[in-house]
Structure 1
Amino acid sequence: MDIVSKRKWYFFISALILIPGILSLMIPPWINPGIDFSSGSAIEIGFADEVLEDDVRAVLGELGHSDARIQRLASDTVFVRMQELKEGELPKIIAALTSGVGTVRGVPQVDTVSAEVAGETVRNAIIAVSIAAMGILFFITWSFRHIPNSFRYGVAALLALGHDVLIIVGIFSILGKAIDLEVNAMFIVGLLAVAGYSVNDTIVVFDRIRENVARNIDRPFGESVNISIMESMGRSLGTSLTTLFALLALLLIGGSTLREFLLVLMIGVLAGTYSSIFIASQFLVMWNRGELGRFFRLVTLRRPRVAGNS
């Protein structure tokens, strides 16, 4: 099977997946931020008797907190996340829950995230992702230093990672507008986990490329890449399917708190498997054959013509 020769189709498929997400990101709000990135309050409420999430949600809705997110920690304990509480509002909520749901025996935890703290969380998230990306670039470049153009492998891995992250963010942007899915701190944790998984999957393919190139220097690079993909595809697909089954089980039995995290991982595993085989490796072939240089030269030459015609 000649995978390398069909690389234009793989980029076309990626474009079909990426474009809807990019268009959604261009429509404000580009994502639906949770309280970790906007502001809000998180409350743990203990009741004297067993309670149901729907009953708590109904009472909070009557108080103007219909957007509150409720997770049942135990039969008599719930965890509530809502917009930032105003001064003196918590006693009113407790009184309403006592009247409408059951006796509240205590509120062991109340956390409020202000707008300033939320802004700092956003900055820290950006810094964390940026540091991870730079670390990946330097690590792969150093690991492949004994072969020509090792820097290309690091850039290709980052390109594949950017491809995966953009797919995830785009899908969450669409889901945020469609079903009000929020992006919280677990989303960033999921992105960092996806970064590790995606790069690991890419390195598996790159390592096989390195071995095949070293064994037969005279073989065309595209042919070595194609052989390497075929040799590593079974391992990549097997690992991805096993991971997906485990994540699906967690998604079905886990609580709502882990939903965004698991969804990020599931999308990331699928995108990472695809990009390591059909994006990162093909990017290396294009760079090796000079196709990237011809593309950029073509773009550069067209700009003066457009300016001259105008």
Structure 2
Amino acid sequence: MAASSDNGTIAGNTKENLMYRLVERRKIWFLISLLGILPGILFIIWNLSTSGTLLPLSIDYTGGTQWEMRFAEPVAPTELGSVFVEAGFTDTKAFHVDDDRTVQVKFKNIDMARKEVIEQAIVERFGEFDERLYRSIGPAIGAEVSQAALLAVIAASVLILAYIALAFREITHPFRFGVAAIAALVHDVLITVSFLSIMNLVLGWELDALFLTATLTVIGFSVNDTIVIFDRIRENLRRRRGEPLSMVANRSIIETAQRSIATQVTALLVLAAILIFGGSTLRIFMATLIVGLVSGTYSSIFTATPLVVAWEEGSLLPRASKSVRTREQTAPA
């Protein structure tokens, strides 16, 4: 009878371990992550070789003028851009916004007298239009924002590493948890870069201040989700001494998954509503947040935690522990 009970316990543990082998499938998760960040890396290489910058920069960083016009009839961006080219602005960029009657043009800074001349030329060729947006900005503002953002990310990474090393000091190798959290953070930034690169090719999106703000927000969400899972791993390591880290990690992910997913779905519903009804001004910001939040949830479960286990096992690819293999062999069919 006792033997039967022991066999039942072994079989139950084996089935539980087989059912929730999330970190053991890390080869799949790492491959998905690689496919997600690869477009961004390739785009950075291509953009650096063609334009000398890592990403396509808006006038928030390069300096210039942004002019958005809405016409009574559809207007081709190339035809409108030709007006600026004829006026001497050969590096002008023009593209549709919202529909084929609204065109946004980006070009070098001009004074009001020059603007009036170009405006008159546009009216003569395409008719009257509504000016929805006109702003000029200097490159110094972009440089300041970029420097502040870079310092913020570096400071956040150092503080995250220090906090996790201190908070997890009771377990073995707390430093590894901090490194994994930062790796997930970098993963999410690269995913947003990949998203920007794809949208740049499709819709002409560029890196602006709102995109940078969205990326910094994504970093905060990503770290929060990762810390939640890591904290549960720390608690379970105390409760279940002797269990391999992979089994503890799987159990911790399952225990926190419902909370993490429910929180993110609630946030995504709000962001989706703003994306749909908030207008074109917030479109890049909201779309980036949505992609970043999804990536943050994914990286917390399928990137950060498997990285810690992989480091512990000394292998990026899963290796079944001896105790698990023994239970699988002895468990009844």
TM-score by length of 1: 0.78
Aligned to 1:147: 171
The counterpart of 1:101, out of the listed 110, 128, 133, is 128
| Structure 1 position 123, deviation (Å) | 2.7
Counterpart Cα distance in 2 of 1:194 and 1:85: 32
| Structure 1 position 209, deviation (Å) | 0.5
The counterpart of 2:285, out of the listed 251, 261, 266, is 261
Are the aligned partners of 1:84 and 1:114 in contact in 2 as well (CA < 8 Å)? no
Are the aligned partners of 2:66 and 2:134 in contact in 1 as well (CA < 8 Å)? yes
Q: C-alpha root-mean-square deviation of aligned residues, in Å?
A: 3.1
The counterpart of 1:132, out of the listed 156, 159, 165, is 156
Counterpart Cα distance in 2 of 1:37 and 1:124: 13
SS in 2 for 1:291: coil
Q: Which amino acid aligns with 2:41?
A: I
Q: Which amino acid aligns with 1:4?
A: V
Are the aligned partners of 2:211 and 2:284 in contact in 1 as well (CA < 8 Å)? yes
| Structure 1 position 147, deviation (Å) | 2.7
Counterpart Cα distance in 1 of 2:191 and 2:198: 11
Counterpart Cα distance in 2 of 1:290 and 1:66: 50
% identical aligned pairs? 37
Matched, 1:53 2:78: no
Q: Which amino acid aligns with 1:83?
A: F
Are the aligned partners of 2:83 and 2:122 in contact in 1 as well (CA < 8 Å)? no
Aligned to 2:245: 221
| Structure 1 position 4, deviation (Å) | 1.9
Aligned to 2:218: 194
| Structure 1 position 103, deviation (Å) | 9.2
Deviations 1:22-52, CA, capped at 9 Å, x for gaps: 21221124422111111113579xxxxxxx8
Q: Which amino acid aligns with 1:119?
A: A
SS in 1 for 2:60: coil
Matched, 1:3 2:12: no
- Cα distance change of structure 1 residues 95 and 180 upon mapping to structure 2, 3 Å threshold: same
Counterpart Cα distance in 2 of 1:57 and 1:190: 32
Aligned to 1:67: 94
Counterpart Cα distance in 1 of 2:105 and 2:155: 30
| Structure 1 position 266, deviation (Å) | 0.8
- Cα distance change of structure 1 residues 289 and 62 upon mapping to structure 2, 3 Å threshold: closer
Q: Which amino acid aligns with 2:24?
A: S
Are the aligned partners of 2:275 and 2:283 in contact in 1 as well (CA < 8 Å)? yes
The counterpart of 2:115, out of the listed 82, 85, 90, is 90
Q: Which amino acid aligns with 1:249?
A: A
Deviations 1:92-134, CA, capped at 9 Å, x for gaps: 3565688843799xx9x97532234433333333223222222
Counterpart Cα distance in 1 of 2:199 and 2:95: 18
Are the aligned partners of 2:60 and 2:138 in contact in 1 as well (CA < 8 Å)? no
- Cα distance change of structure 1 residues 253 and 119 upon mapping to structure 2, 3 Å threshold: same
Deviations 1:181-205, CA, capped at 9 Å, x for gaps: 1110011100110001001111111
SS in 2 for 1:37: helix
TM-score by length of 2: 0.73
Greater C-alpha radius of gyration: 2
Counterpart Cα distance in 1 of 2:154 and 2:74: 38
Structure 1: where are the runs of 5+ without partners?
Answer: 45-51, 72-77, 293-310
Counterpart Cα distance in 2 of 1:204 and 1:112: 43
More RCO (CA 8 Å, sep 6+): 2
SS in 2 for 1:53: strand
The counterpart of 1:283, out of the listed 303, 307, 314, is 307
Are the aligned partners of 1:204 and 1:232 in contact in 2 as well (CA < 8 Å)? yes
Counterpart Cα distance in 2 of 1:89 and 1:196: 44
- Cα distance change of structure 1 residues 60 and 142 upon mapping to structure 2, 3 Å threshold: farther
